[in-house]
Amino acid sequence: MCPVTGSAIHDSEEDSRSHCFSPEAIPRVVLDWVQYNSILSIAWEECESRGKSIESILQIDARVVEYEKADIIIRKGDYGGSVLIPLEGEIRVNLEESGEKNFARKRVTRKRSWLSALGQIFRRKTPVERINTDSSTDRVYTAKAHVPRLEIDLEEYMSKNLTRRIGLGEICGEIAALRRSPRTASIFAESDCKLLEIRWQGVREILKNSKEFSHYLEDLIGDRRHQIFSGMKTLTDLPEAIQRTLSAKSIFERWGSDHWNRNFRKIMQSQSSMIDRESIILQQGHHMDGLYVLLSGFARVTNKEGSEEKTVGYLRPGDVYGLKELMKLSRTGVSSPALRSIRAVGAIDLVVIPSNDFVEYVLPELKNLDVDQLGSEKGLISTELLNFFLDRRIVNGNQTMVIDLNRCTDCDDCVKACAVTHDGNPRFIREGYRHAKLMVATACMHCIDPVCLVGCPTGAIHREHSTGNVVITQSECIGCASCVESCPYDNIRTVEVQDANGEAVIDLETGKPVLKATKCDLCLDQPSGPACVNACPHDALHRINFSDASGVSSIVERITG
């Protein structure tokens, strides 16, 4: 039986591993070493007792990778869906923000040439909503990335900059892998080394079957929260010494549910209030215990007026709440209660910097800043629209397709352009949620919290490392439709696969056509960017990143004003 699909195997052993993380089985000597010498040893017996062998998990979801001295293993800011356990050699994590310039990306995502892009117009069209088995876009996703290297004197760098060696058998990369967020620190090879890389699907299976391992990872993420401060907008310019001091004094919190998307469509059809379903993180009028820094997910900010709870803004990763209250504390010495309530929309991680520590360490660095310009609430649009975006979880989007119905003439040039770009397969539907003359089209939003990734058994749907765009590797998709079911916005579909002759590929066991998942990929390989936006003759189609408050406000005001 295939370990992923559960179907019978009739081909070679290599074919049987086509959906495993590694084309080769994990060697017995590696499995034995990991069982007794790595952090996984604390979960081994517990998983066995629950009928889930870690060995079987690793054979599906792990691979052995090798790096040479000075190779960059993980780059801060990239997206990644795996954890690493060193088996041989030495690796180090960089803890010096000023040194990150040495890890900066020097290569960009490979795109088609302009000549190749124009050639798509004249290519033989395939039937709509069918994926060809030899699609060229698939190669863009699966091409092996060039391993970047540090072009510096490694010994000199380590002597002058703060780094930490990650010991054999320890685990790293867990924050990004489990939170679907950017890597929080760069890791490099101090010597030639060998590591066990486990994609997050495998980590998830171990967590499901080992409470001890689950508790260990949550504690570890809390202990490493200092890695998250850098890049947090308001705090990014704080001296590194202060960041490290704050990390030791701050409180790491987790709110909401990772499975908020379950039953979301059914909830949307009910008459119940979405606000009432959201966990209250901070209650208006209650004691303000510190500065709230959102690390992942998104939150609703509300103000109670009489008996009505009014939405006044939202928070996304990097945003802070509590500056106004804490500034008052610093000026008067009198604690101010929370002026607003904060509610978890989905699952969020945050850090609370205690009030006294904020006044002592952070406030002196903010003396010359305009607090009102720090973007803590993103409340630049009407309450009605805020509720529209938040109730439907549209603020989750990094690339939400919004159409101005005042300008749209139903010409469908956007859909046609998408079809031409994707070999006859349009990746979105020009329909969706409407508010007045604004429509949110049924197209992948490339979310800040991409819950579609959660159930994928093969890792076919994932974040692209450099951009964070959510893409699907067709060669790894098994058509299980878990991403289709997980997406709360109906932005992913399964479509038939056809061979080079245009005939549907049939599953020999079921007698039904083979299916693959498909969705908007933001024209990842196109030199001009999203074809839909470029093709609109009336400037009616816009892509919105909800972390850009002024950009959202500008587009919304133009459409609704």
**CATH code, domain with 158:** 2.60.120.10
166 and 257 share one domain? no
CB 124 within 8 A of CB 230: no
Distance of CA 318 to the CA centre of its chain: 14
| Side chain identity, residue 137 | T
- Is 432 a residue whose pLDDT tops 90? yes
Is 512 contained in some domain? yes
Write down how long the chain is.
561
Q: What is the pLDDT of residues 283-326, one digit of tens each?
A: 999 999 999 988 888 999 999 988 889 999 999 988 889 988 98
Last residue of a domain, one of 319, 351, 379: 379
Residue 276 sits in the same domain as residue 371? yes
φ/ψ (deg, to 5) at 360: -75, -45
Q: For the packed helices 41-49 and 200-209, what is the interaxial angle rounded to 10 degrees?
A: 60
65 and 172 together in one domain: yes
Residue 384 included in any domain: no
Q: Distance (Å, rounded) from C-alpha 283 to C-alpha 356?
A: 20
Residue 229 lies in a domain: no
Given 379, 407, 435, the domain boundary residue is 379
The answer as to whether 130 is a domain residue is no
Indicate whether 148 pLDDT > 80: yes
Q: What's the predicted TM-score (pTM) here?
A: 0.77
Residue 347 to residues 281, 300, 451, 500: CA-CA distances in angstroms? 12, 12, 10, 43
When divided into structural domains, the chain yields a total of: 3
**Is residue 231 included in any domain, yes or no?**
no
Give Cβ neighbours of residue 367 (< 8 Å, ≥ 6 apart): none
Residues 358 and 396 placed together within one structural domain of the fold: no
The whole-angstrom separation of Cα 196 and Cα 28 is 13
218 assigned to some structural domain: yes
- At 528 the pLDDT is 73
Task: Give mean pLDDT, residues 425-435.
Answer: 90
Candidate ranges 184-198, 218-232, 261-275, 328-342; pick with highest mean pLDDT: 184-198
**44: which 2 tokens?**
């081994």
Q: CA 390, CA 403: separation in Å to the nearest integer? A: 18
Residues 216 and 247 both lie in one domain: no
- Whole-number average pLDDT of the chain: 83
DSSP run (H or E) holding 141 = helix 136-142
Amino acid at 30: V
Residues 187 and 244 in one domain: no
30 has a pLDDT exceeding 50: yes
Q: Which domain holds residue 91?
A: 13-107+147-224
Let me know how many helices (H) and strands (E) the chain has, helices first. Answer: 20, 22
CATH number at residue 551: 3.30.70.20
- Digit-coded pLDDT (tens) for 33-83: 999 999 999 999 999 999 999 999 999 999 999 999 999 999 988 888 899
* pLDDT(123) > 60: no
Q: What is the pLDDT of residue 5?
A: 40
The tokens for 210 are 């080992």
Query: What is the separation of C-alpha 417 from the centre of its chain, rounded to a whole number of angstroms?
Result: 27
The dihedral through the CA atoms of 203, 204, 210, 212 has a sign that is positive
CA dist 553 and 298 (Å) reads 18
Write out the DSSP string of 218-265: HHHHHHTTHHHHTT-GGGTTS-HHHHHHHHHH-EEEEES-TTTTTTHH
The tens digit of pLDDT for each residue in 183-202 reads: 888 999 999 999 999 998 89
Residues 292 and 374 occupy one common structural domain? yes
CA 115 – CA 392 distance, rounded (Å): 40
Q: What is the mean pLDDT of residues 509-531?
A: 86
Q: Which of 379, 400, 415 is the last residue of a domain?
A: 379
pLDDT at 252: 81
Radius of gyration in angstroms for the set of CA atoms belonging to the chain, rounded to a whole number? 25
Residue 486, both tokens: 């997980």
Crossing angle of the two packed helices 28-37 and 41-49, in degrees rounded to 10 = 100
Same domain, 420 and 456: yes
Q: How far is CA 500 from CA 6, 14, 504, in A?
A: 27, 23, 10
Domain shared by 425 and 351, yes or no: no
Within-domain flag for 133: no
Report d(CA 90, CA 96) in Å as an integer.
19
What pLDDT score does 113 carry?
52
Please indicate, yes or no, if residue 209 is contained in any of the structural domains: yes
Helix (H) or strand (E) holding 48: helix 41-49
